Chain A
Amino acid sequence: MSVVFPFCPCLGMHSSDDPWYDALASGWGESDGTEAPEAGPPVAGDVYLEVQRSAAFREVRRRYRRFVVPAVVVFLSWYVAYVVAATTAPELMARPVAGAVNVAMVAGLGQFLTTFLLTWAYARHARLRRDRAALELRWETQELTRVAQGGVG
């Protein structure tokens, strides 16, 4: 995809934690146009198709899905299991664990705990594994769209 991404240094080029602010400082999107695709500018609508097929985008999408799909399956099944258990197996839920605390109380507080943990894990995963690559794709896509629309190249 070197034709589509002529200036794609891709992952791991900055060291700061926050690529959004880096990007503002480093002057992305101010290409002088000499790096436009050689095969002539594509139509604006095709830019997105090309980006969608590119390896860099597929990698971002893969990373997003590989976290989100299992996480959604896990938390939804855990929640549904909790609700169904509370309505169909109250005897199990009433079993004491320690003092006045029973299984139901542990499960309820467990829902709070897993929600906080998954939130933290998702935010960390997105920050470390997705943000930088997505941001680079963003500027590249916008640049290609601008060229395709016949803007100042």
Chain B
Amino acid sequence: MTSEHQRLALLLFGVFVAVTLAITTWVSRNRRGSAEEFYAGGRLFTPMENGFAIAGDYMSAASFLGISGLIALFGYDGLLYSVGFLVAWLLVLFLVAELVRNCGRFTLADVVAARMNERPVRIAAGTSSVTVSVLYLVAQMVGAGTLVALLLGGEGEAARAWTVIGVGALMVIYVSLGGMRATTWIQIVKSVLLLGGTIALTVLVLLRFHGDFDQLLLTAAERSGHGEAFLAPGLKYGGDWTARLDFISLGLALVLGTAGLPHILSRFYTVPTARAARRSVVWAIGLIGGFYLMTIVLGFGAAAIVGPEAVRGSNAAGNTAVPLLALDLGGGADTTGGTVLFAVVAAIAFATILAVVAGITLSSSASVAHDLYASLRRRPAGPRSEVAVARVAAVGIGVVAIGLGLLARDLNVAFLVGLAFAVAASANLPVLLYSLFWRDFTTRGAVWAVYGGLIPAVALVVLSPVVSGSPESLFPDVDFQYFPLQNPGLVSIPLGFVAGWLGTVTSAEAPDAAKHAETEVRSLTGAGAV
């Protein structure tokens, strides 16, 4: 990477930061204090705006850089990620988006607590939401650090640390000053940039092969050195049975996790009605689906044009496949076109990370203030002091994420994202679905469902080869590995559902028919929705 690339990329990224800071000050100029405003942006976004913002929240750097990189290195096995990430949205559309919009106010815990003894349920759901958010946040911070280290060349240890700190500081500013309204506009700007960049690169790849997708696949397969096998599953996950089970576990976590991600759920509250929430998801599915289709072209394009050897030489995990592809498509390393395209792609990747990080921070500060703080303090807090707590919580979460991001900088980004999805699917999805659809669900069932998914998911990760017992682990020198899979989903997701059922049937409390009627009527009609 020459200094020319760096300077241009940093300049473009600086422009993005300036524009987003301007948006933050602009949208927050006269509006201060109300919870409706801070958590939900006044609930007046249109379905199209919210659809772009949802897509912006969802298409993280892990997708843009990670999936294309995996396809470039392992061929078809990378494509399995794209499919899981997209299909998950059907679950959100069918079972979650409209009903959650109708029943809740700001967070996941609102939906559950409406039917139950409020305090324990809120504390449980708040704890699991914050856990999921922090895991997801750390993944994005690590991604930002890696990207900068690659851009600035060499080791860049100090640059990496400063990037993590800088990204953390920026997100705290966006969120605590601008709330949901600023965060949403940042997501929209980022979505447009990311989709624009992806479309441009895809068109260039297809032009290179004269629009012949077949030729693109053949060239990729030939250059990969694996031949036909490159285009079929099995290169990455086709080893022993542990690897195959691990992949099934990941596949389950991906498809079931999206519906439990707190920062996605909180997006449904930014539109006025359930119908608008549904239309936002339809927009989001169109945008996200188109995006993942293009990452497939970019991945195989990188394999065919750059070649897996060059990709692996730059970054063993494949994270630089797309920037390298841009360099080549623009005309090569020493041309203006190559330099510009490379810098644009790098700046878009930065913008992506920054926007996703802001969205997650906002929803986790809502969980801290609206669920945990409001339940743990003795006297009820007013809405204004709750927002003040949320602003402080954003700073606190920023500090925690910066710290963990610095500690975990050598962990694989895609793994951390997969873990966040597994915890969301185990701890948040069972309690959400039971609350919406099960008449006899009780408070004890709700609390057990959350902890019964959360604790096994986290414990199994601690006991997995990711943390100890193998050369690639977090602590390679000790061995307390007792669970063979890297992703806990296959075990912990069923445990969450079973724990919720067990808690309900052993509960002494009789299910409240009136509360269930209220949830069911409200969720399907929108009566009494805010």
Interface residues of A (CB under 8 A from B): 20, 45-46, 48-49, 51-52, 57, 60-61, 64, 68, 71-72, 75-76, 79-80, 82-84, 86-88, 90, 93-94, 96, 99-102, 104-105, 108, 111-112, 115-116, 118-120, 122-123, 126, 131, 134-135, 137-138, 141-142, 145
Q: In the assembled complex, which residues on chain A have CB atoms less than 8 Å from the CB atom of B93?
A: 119, 122
Report the count of interface residues on B (CB-CB < 8 A).
57
By Cβ-Cβ distance, the 5 closest A-B pairs, closest first, are A94-B232, A141-B527, A100-B217, A83-B251, A90-B234
Q: Evaluate contact between A83 and B247: CB separation under 8 angstroms.
A: yes
Q: Evaluate contact between B218 and A51: CB separation under 8 angstroms.
A: no
Docked CA distance A99–B217 (Å): 9
A-B contact pairs, 5 of them (CB 8 A): A61-B524, A94-B232, A105-B231, A119-B285, A138-B525
Q: In the assembled complex, which residues on chain A have CB atoms less than 8 Å from the CB atom of B386?
A: none
Q: Does B438 touch A at the CB level, under 8 Å? A: no
Other A-B pairs, 6, CB within 8 Å; known A57-B521, A119-B93: A49-B517, A99-B218, A100-B221, A105-B76, A116-B286, A141-B521
Closest CB-CB distance, A52 to chain B, in whole Å? 4
Q: In the assembled complex, which residues on chain A have CB atoms less than 8 Å from the CB atom of B275?
A: 20, 126, 131
A72 and B87 in contact, given A131-B275, A138-B525 (Cβ under 8 angstroms): no
Q: Evaluate contact between A115 and B520: CB separation under 8 angstroms.
A: no
A145 and B528 in contact, given A108-B79, A115-B87 (Cβ under 8 angstroms): yes
Q: Evaluate contact between A88 and B95: CB separation under 8 angstroms.
A: no
A123 and B289 in contact, given A100-B214, A141-B528 (Cβ under 8 angstroms): no
Q: In the assembled complex, which residues on chain B have CB atoms less than 8 Å from the CB atom of A138?
A: 525-527, 529
Q: Does B83 touch A at the CB level, under 8 Å? A: yes
Docked CA distance A131–B214 (Å): 44
Q: Does B400 touch A at the CB level, under 8 Å? A: no
Interface residues of B (CB under 8 A from A): 76, 79-80, 82-84, 86-87, 89-91, 93-95, 98, 214, 217-218, 221, 228-229, 231-234, 237-238, 244, 247-248, 251-252, 255, 273, 275, 278-279, 281-282, 285-286, 289, 292-293, 513-514, 517-518, 520-522, 524-529
Q: In the assembled complex, which residues on chain A have CB atoms less than 8 Å from the CB atom of B91?
A: 72, 76
Q: Which residue of A lies closest to B519 (CB)?
A: A48
Complex partner residue of A76 from B232, B255, B521, B525, CB under 8 angstroms: B255
Q: Evaluate contact between A142 and B87: CB separation under 8 angstroms.
A: no
Closest CB-CB distance, A87 to chain B, in whole Å? 4
Q: In the assembled complex, which residues on chain B have CB atoms less than 8 Å from the CB atom of A60?
A: 524-525
Q: Evaluate contact between A99 and B214: CB separation under 8 angstroms.
A: yes
Docked CA distance A83–B77 (Å): 11
Q: Evaluate contact between A90 and B94: CB separation under 8 angstroms.
A: no
Q: In the assembled complex, which residues on chain B have CB atoms less than 8 Å from the CB atom of A86?
A: 80, 233-234, 237, 247
Q: Evaluate contact between B95 and A123: CB separation under 8 angstroms.
A: no
Q: In the assembled complex, which residues on chain B have CB atoms less than 8 Å from the CB atom of A96?
A: 228
Q: In the assembled complex, which residues on chain A have CB atoms less than 8 Å from the CB atom of B251?
A: 79-80, 83
Q: Evaluate contact between B234 and A102: CB separation under 8 angstroms.
A: no
A123 and B526 in contact, given A87-B244, A115-B87 (Cβ under 8 angstroms): no
Docked CA distance A138–B272 (Å): 14
Q: In the assembled complex, which residues on chain A have CB atoms less than 8 Å from the CB atom of B289?
A: 112, 115-116
Q: Evaluate contact between A68 and B87: CB separation under 8 angstroms.
A: no
Complex partner residue of A102 from B231, B513, B520, B526, CB under 8 angstroms: B231
Q: In the assembled complex, which residues on chain A have CB atoms less than 8 Å from the CB atom of B233?
A: 86-87, 90, 93-94, 104
Closest CB-CB distance, B301 to chain A, in whole Å? 14
Closest CB-CB distance, A104 to chain B, in whole Å? 5
Q: Evaluate contact between B525 and A119: CB separation under 8 angstroms.
A: no
A135 and B229 in contact, given A45-B518, A72-B94, A112-B293 (Cβ under 8 angstroms): no
Q: Evaluate contact between A94 and B525: CB separation under 8 angstroms.
A: no
Q: Evaluate contact between B229 and A94: CB separation under 8 angstroms.
A: yes
Q: Evaluate contact between A48 and B76: CB separation under 8 angstroms.
A: no
A111 and B86 in contact, given A48-B517, A83-B80 (Cβ under 8 angstroms): yes
Q: Evaluate contact between B525 and A101: CB separation under 8 angstroms.
A: no
Complex partner residue of B514 from A45, A116, A118, A131, CB under 8 angstroms: A45
